[in-house]
Structure 1
Amino acid sequence: MNRSLRRTFALALAGAATAMLAACGSGDAAGGSGDVLKVGTLTDAPPVVYLKDGRFTGFDNELLRAVADRQGIKLEFVGVEFSTLLSKVANNQVDIGSSQISATDKRRQTVDFTNGYEISYTSIVGKADTSISGIEGLAGKRVGVVQATVQDEYASGKIPGANVVRFPDYNSAFAQLRNGNLDVWIVPLDIADKYIKNTLDFPQKVVVQRADRESPAAWAVRKGNGALRDKLNTGLVSVIEDGTYAKLHQQHLPGSPLDDSFKPKTAK
């Protein structure tokens, strides 16, 4: 074999090896040894997901860390807006979406979900002196929601005549409620409780709350990534059974009931 042919053959082998590596890298992320999976989450939705002292924390993220630890998965958290989170999961920009995401049938068209890890409650919150007492009083009212959340879907589909105002994040929506540009806002109950407790100079009350048992909170993964989904589900069972889930729930969500399905079997 002459030098030119040897060089051509070597280049062909290198190209094949590169293609094989690329194919491996574009496959389903399962969080194997040495892998670092990217988690998309929010910065401003305490107590479930938020940024504190440079660390992404909150119930959802600390629970995910515990699950990942059981399964030997390494995580890297990045901040995103909720309206882009599921598309980033679907397009492989992040491996996992963690933000108290309600696993609705509509969202399952875009991404896959793990088993549910929390029963969410939607709440409608207004100023303490609001005369609004139910959804029937919201016709013509300015109702704030975070764009693309189930609260957005609820306001748009279940509250006839409401003037739905959409925001990219919770802080922006709350600021408009506080300065009088909104009549109410609709948020998960845990988040509502946190804002109510942390802003005593702006008295608020929950006008309506409803349980979303048909679409529990779950982590989102790319469609077809069954290996990662199964690993997270297995880890979730482990942290429920050893009591870690209950401890984290009490730490981050002390005002929310612990559903029987998330208690260790010996504690039921």
Structure 2
Amino acid sequence: MTSRKTILAALFAVSMSGFASAGLAADTVRIVTDPTFPPMEFSKDGKRTGFDIELTEALIKEMGKEASWTDIDFKGLIPAVLSGRADMAVSAIYITDARKQVVDFTDSYYAGGLVVLTRRDGPIKSLKDLDGKRVSVQVGTKSVGYLQEHYPKVQRVEVEKNEEMFNLVGVGRADAAVTGKPAAKLYAQSHPDLVVLDAQITTEEYGIAVDKRQPELVTDLNDALKRLKEKGTYQQIVDKWFEGGK
């Protein structure tokens, strides 16, 4: 006999599913992002913007659909897709073997990688100088696991928000931050006392994470990306946000 707890759990799941899709047309794609990672995604004047946002809007338009965005913390992006509360997640997400076990990914839409942001006059001049130092990282990102495995002597300072991670370096509470190259480069441009080391820790590919139950969405996104590249739209967006991709 089905227990009352089981029935309530099932009803809760159905209600959550209904809440996520209520009022949305069939041609609407539900997207989650963490808009705290400029220039990839961030908020400006109360509006969501950035490379990922503009490219995704172009992809969805190319597909003849509408985008419905929801902002959540980075660590909740994949769970939102897994639970069916979102169709896809776009937020400078690296394509990794671990993530591919639970979600599907589109073709890579941009190459990035983990880098070190540190004080220009600080003690860290190369990657080997990270050992024993305080390094800030954002919870839920690849930086955490990578440092655990490859730099076990690092004193990790784990924070929820990207901005907090950078601020700790600026005020001296962390010796460095390990994060994605685009955001680190942009932050260093407006903070001349900080610098990004030339040597990258990793080279990674960014992809859009999609619900495994929607393989057709992956196909449609990949086809749309190809068409945007053929039209020159993709390169225009890259040039706008990365100065020619450099």
- TM exceeds 0.5? yes
Distance 1:208 1:83, change over 3 A: farther
**Is the aligned partner of 1:146 residue 2:141?**
no
Aligned to 2:164: 172
The code of the aligned residue for 1:205 comes to: V
Per-residue deviation, residues 111-162 of structure 1 (Å, max 9, x unmatched): 1111110011221010010121223222221111111212222222111300
Counterpart secondary structure, 1:252: helix
Aligned to 2:206: 217
CA contact (8 A) 2:126 2:199 kept: no
Aligned to 2:11: none
The offset of 1:209, in angstroms, is 3.6
Aligned to 1:241: 230
CA RMSD of aligned residues (A): 2.1
Aligned to 1:188: 180
CA contact (8 A) 2:188 2:196 kept: no
CA contact (8 A) 2:127 2:199 kept: no
Counterpart secondary structure, 1:119: strand
Match of 1:159 among 129, 135, 151: 151
- Separation (CA, whole Å) in 1 of partners of 2:216 and 2:83: 17
Aligned to 1:60: 52
If the length of structure 1 is used for normalisation, what is the TM-score? 0.79
The code of the aligned residue for 1:244 comes to: T
Aligned to 1:5: none
Match of 1:121 among 86, 92, 113: 113
4+ residue runs of structure 1 moved beyond 6 angstroms? Answer: none
Counterpart secondary structure, 1:66: helix
Query: Larger Rg: 1 or 2?
Result: 1
Aligned to 2:194: 204
CA contact (8 A) 1:124 1:184 kept: yes
Aligned to 1:263: none
The code of the aligned residue for 1:104 comes to: T
Structure 1 unaligned spans of 5+: 1-21, 258-268
Distance 1:223 1:209, change over 3 A: farther
The offset of 1:89, in angstroms, is 1.1
Aligned to 2:8: none
- Separation (CA, whole Å) in 2 of partners of 1:84 and 1:181: 26
- Separation (CA, whole Å) in 2 of partners of 1:225 and 1:99: 19
CA contact (8 A) 1:189 1:209 kept: no
Match of 2:38 among 25, 46, 60: 46
- Separation (CA, whole Å) in 2 of partners of 1:93 and 1:190: 28
Aligned residues: 227
% identity of equivalent residues: 26
